[in-house]
Amino acid sequence: MTRPSGLALYAFLYLVFLYLPVLFLPLFSFNSGTIVAFPIKGWTLEWYRQLGGQETLIQALVNSLLVGLVAALLATSMGLFAARAYVRYRFRGKEASEGLVMLPLVIPGIIVASSMLVLFISIGIKPSLTAVMLGHTFLALPFSVSIMKSAFDDFDASLEEAAFDLGSGVVETFRRVTLPIVAPGIVASLLVTFTVSFDEFVLAFFLSGNQPTLPVYIWSQIRFPAKLPNTLALGSLLLLASVALLVVAEYFRRRSAKSTI
Amino acid sequence: MRSDAAKGLTLSAPATLYVGFLVAAPLAILVAYSLWTQTYVSVDRTLTLANYKEAFTDPLVRHLMIRSVLIAGAVTIVTVALAYPIAYFIALKAERKTLWLLLITIPFWSSYLLRVFAWKLILGFNGVLNSALLGVGMISEPLTFLLYNEFAVVLTLAHAWAPFAILPIYVSLQKIDPSLLEAATDLGNSAVQRFLRVTLPLTIPGIIAACLIIFIPTVGDYVTPSLVGGSDGKMIANLIQVQFGAANNWPLGATLSLLAMMSVGFVAILFVLSASGLGRRIR
Amino acid sequence: MTEKNIIRLQGIEKRFGQFVAVSNLDLDLREGEFFSLLGPSGCGKTTALRMIAGFQEPTAGKVIIDGQDMEGIPANKRPTNMVFQSYAIFPHLNVGNNVAYGLRNRGISKSEIDTRVSEALEMVELGGLQSRGATELSGGQRQRVALARALVMRPKVLLLDEPLSALDKKLREQMQFEMRHLQQELGITFVMVTHDQYEAMTMSDRIGVMFEGRLVQVDAPPTLYAKPCNREIASFIGEMNFLPAELTAEKGDTLTISTPCFCAMTIEKNPNVEQTGRAIEIGIRPEQLEISAQEPDGYDGTVQGTVRDVAFYGENVHYHVQVDGVARPISASVPNYFHTVDYRPGDAVWLGVQSASVIDLGQNQSNT
């Protein structure tokens, strides 16, 4: 900014609006009082300590990690191939296919959730972690495709031709040239899709049955005022994890953009 | 060597088929369910329009549907109006664009559920805002209009969707050739005229994209009305969830889902047509 | 250079749907020569090169390399290597690993790979830079790495796709000579694709000129310059004044012609073109014209005119002279011997030409 303008001031206030609400969670998670209100009574780590002993919570965390991992792997591998097709080849129905895989971004959550529940029951998949994994893969796919598309975008096609020209076969070329160059993009996609799944609630709420993921567990705790401090502590940890994952993903995404100069 | 077209089709097939299947199959089954009826414990598979009749005659359904669309519309307008200046600032004025973009997107990566939860804590009767205002003596008793109404829903969603509004507008602003703006000035426009006659019309695609990205999912939002909406802020998604949950009336739930989808589509198409028509009228 | 053919292209053709990129191309390349495919962009030269490399299969015809038909043999199994226009330096590998890339596909021992890589890098004057990162290289260095990476494979033919187009002018001129020397030392056949006529002429033993998918003429640079086979090539390579002429007599290898401006002349017949009828066209290079204030002595043809424009190029000066009976001004170029510009627009001057410098372009195809 060359000079502090009204616009810059507005931008600053906007950031406050964006961040302040979220920052109240960690702030009050250290409050020794049980009511979320000013003034803060005192500081404590008690609420965090208590989290360790809750078995349902640990189980929900394990469920979430498992779902996130599988959804990230599935979405990223499908996204990797699709993005390569979109960037490198021209084929009939390409635009339609590109549009279709972005659709999960704009369908209202409740409709995705209810229709998948109905579908899965009809084809014999009971509400379970498997159902959530399949649903989250669907939701995460657009993120993976767009990240992998930008990873392939600046990837010079003649690099693969050069490898081929120097005697590598198709598999060899993929392993020694393509994969190393788009690897940062793959890592970024894995992290982002994992985060999408890890934070997702509505679909998991409909599809998880009696195997809650972490957000579903939190949802069940929100209703109990007595559990509030614990929920705050858990929520704060979740926030920290998401932001940490994003920062790492961003680092890899930039590396993938930079390495192809 | 296989042809490029064949390679492209093969590579994109898993993603296309996966999404295609998970869009088309549930839709078909939803349609089927909407034509069936729920008897006491099982589903009667005789085809009937009874659910649609019920949905159209039930005042609660109509009320929630209209409210959902209105709330989503309000959220869209508020969010885009608040976001435009930020997108403008980042695209044309800010020096550290990537840093700003990163700052804008980080909150999006925190769990949506937790952000809504945070607003519930802030706006509550004994909440953060009331206690702070009481503490500094600006009010003498807690404000009650903050939580459990449409206001709370709109505020919370406008906060949640901020990055989605900023990014498309930012992209369309970023694409504007600076010489177009110089030309407008050169031809005698003031800064305000130039904004209205050149900048704004050129960013209409971005505005439309932002509006759709916000409006469509918001109509079907479940978490926010549940947590901060109270009884005045309930939306259609809450009713749908009840049908699939406590009421255990899947056929009606399916019908409501389909109707919600159709109203979203209808309003969205109407909006795109009128917005692009408006854009063409600017001279 | 031997007379052995290393590459034979037999009637190759490449279609993309309705579009014919290369049509019925026949070409023999000799072992050890530096050959350039020259033409404007979109003329099919790169497609032709990529069919030799194996990145594209011809829709008709044969590519034969060293006596072996290449049909069905993919790029990674052909005895050719390529220097790409973008250089295609692997960004995730350092210089040494880039150059070693192809050798590792051949199961060669590590010590031999190291030796050959350092030899190749010495050869392109990048000795000792093995551990330099690919993204830390300048444009010229990238080009040298690309050359080393291809040459270390000891290909029978090295293919170069616009290898100098990404470099700035000074560096480009320097690399022209370096690549020429490298090619002569190694004795490997180089096939280069370029749109730059000067690049093609300074580097090549022979040049093939392509227009719209057809190979129009193949000759050594001086022949191409002196005996172009049609008007298109004559104007694509160097500058040319085109003049209409009437064929009055033909005897053996000579033609007697009369032109509207210069007097009657007897010129050498161009075997590359056809004469049918009396209306022919002749070409005169600007540097072959003498310009003077008085009628010059000892020239076969002279004409008087008026200077219209003067263009100062530094190493020479171009005068555009309007002559009665000729629609467009005739361009004459004079070396800048004494740092003077002798004539100004409006000056009356004489042009003189020797009949040996007049190029027979055959039947008049122009509309002017």
Question: With a threshold of 0.80, does the pTM exceed it?
Answer: no
The most confident of B88-97, C91-100, C202-211, C245-254, by mean pLDDT: C202-211
Boundaries of every domain in chain C: 5-231, 240-363
Q: Number of helices (H) and strands (E), helices first, in chain A?
A: 12, 0
Q: How many domains does chain A have?
A: 1
Candidates B80, B86, B111: best to mutate against A (most CBs of A within 10 A) is B111
Instruction: Give the gap in angstroms from C-alpha A124 to the nearest C-alpha of chain B.
Output: 13
Q: Which residue in chain A has the smallest CA separation from B4?
A: A89
Q: Check if the beta carbon of residue B34 is closer than 8 Å to that of residue B51.
A: yes
How confident is the model at residue C91, as a pLDDT? 82
In a domain, A44, yes or no: no
Task: Verify whether the Cβ–Cβ distance B219 to A108 is below 8 Å.
Answer: yes
Q: Check if the beta carbon of residue A85 is closer than 8 Å to that of residue A100.
A: no
CB atoms within 10 A of CB B259: 19
Q: What residues in C contact A165, CB-CB < 8 Å? A: 53, 55, 75-76, 80-82, 102, 150
Does position C368 have pLDDT exceeding 70, yes or no?
Answer: no
| Most distant pair of Cα atoms in chain A: their distance | 71
Separation of alpha carbons A74 and A56, rounded Å = 27
Does position C310 have pLDDT exceeding 60, yes or no?
Answer: yes
Helix ranges, chain C (H): 45-53, 95-100, 110-123, 139-151, 169-186, 197-203, 221-226, 231-236
Q: What residues in A contact C88, CB-CB < 8 Å? A: 156, 158-159, 161-162
User: What residues of chain B, 8 to 27, have a C-beta less than 8 Å from chain A?
Assistant: 8-12, 14-16, 18-20, 22-23, 25-27
In degrees, rounded to 5, the angle at the alpha carbon of residue C82 between the alpha carbons of residues C81 and C87 is 140
User: What residues of chain A, 143 to 202, have a C-beta less than 8 Å from chain C?
Assistant: 156, 158-159, 161-169, 172, 176-177, 180-181
- pLDDT interval class at B190 (50, 70, 90): confident
Nearest to A200 by CA among A256, A116, A258, A119: A116
> Could you check whether C5-231 and C240-363 share the same CATH topology?
no
Separation of alpha carbons C95 and A250, rounded Å = 28
Q: What residues in C contact A168, CB-CB < 8 Å? A: 76, 101-102, 105
- The CATH number given to C240-363 is 2.40.50.100
In a domain, A3, yes or no: no
Which residues of chain C are at the A interface, by a Cβ-Cβ cutoff of 8 Å?
A: 53, 55, 74-77, 80-82, 84-86, 88, 90-92, 101-102, 105-106, 135, 149-150, 153
Q: 3-state SS of C233-244?
A: HHHHCCCCEEEE
Backbone angles phi, psi at C316, to 5 degrees: -150, 170
| Chains in contact with C via at least 3 Cβ–Cβ pairs below 8 Å | A
pLDDT in tens, A146-184: 989 888 887 888 899 999 999 888 888 988 888 888 888
**Structure tokens that stand for A138 in this block:** 């669907």
Separation of alpha carbons C337 and C294, rounded Å = 19
Task: Verify whether the Cβ–Cβ distance C53 to A172 is below 8 Å.
Answer: no
Separation of alpha carbons C153 and C79, rounded Å = 9
Task: Verify whether the Cβ–Cβ distance A176 to C101 is below 8 Å.
Answer: yes
pLDDT in tens, B80-138: 999 999 999 999 888 888 888 888 888 777 788 888 888 888 888 777 788 888 888 78
How confident is the model at residue A1, as a pLDDT? 40
Q: Which residue in chain C has the smallest CA separation from A172?
A: C105
In a domain, A17, yes or no: no
How confident is the model at residue C163, as a pLDDT? 92
DSSP for C260-286?
Answer: SSS--EEEE--TTS---SSEEEEEE-G
Instruction: Give the gap in angstroms from C-alpha A134 to the nearest C-alpha of chain B.
Output: 9
Q: Name every residue whose Cβ is closer than 8 Å to that of residue B38 and which is 6 or more positions away in sequence.
A: B44, B248, B249, B250, B251, B252
Instruction: Give the gap in angstroms from C-alpha C77 to the nearest C-alpha of chain A.
Output: 6
Report the CATH number at residue A242.
Answer: 1.10.3720.10
Handedness of CA C206, C209, C215, C216 (dihedral sign): negative
Handedness of CA C201, C204, C206, C211 (dihedral sign): negative
**What are the structural domains of chain B?**
55-281 (1.10.3720.10)
pLDDT in tens, C166-194: 888 889 999 999 999 999 999 999 999 99
In a domain, A35, yes or no: no
CATH class for domain C5-231? Answer: alpha beta
Bridge-based pairing of strands C265-268 and C189-194 is unpaired
Please tell me which of the candidates C76, C92, C102 has its beta carbon nearest to residue A259. Answer: C92
Q: How many contacts, defined by CB atoms under 8 Å, are there between A and C?
A: 67
In a domain, A94, yes or no: yes
In a domain, A48, yes or no: no
Quote the domain boundaries for residue A110.
Answer: 56-258
**Segments in chain A below pLDDT 70:** 1-4, 256-261
Helix ranges, A89-128 (H): 94-102, 109-122
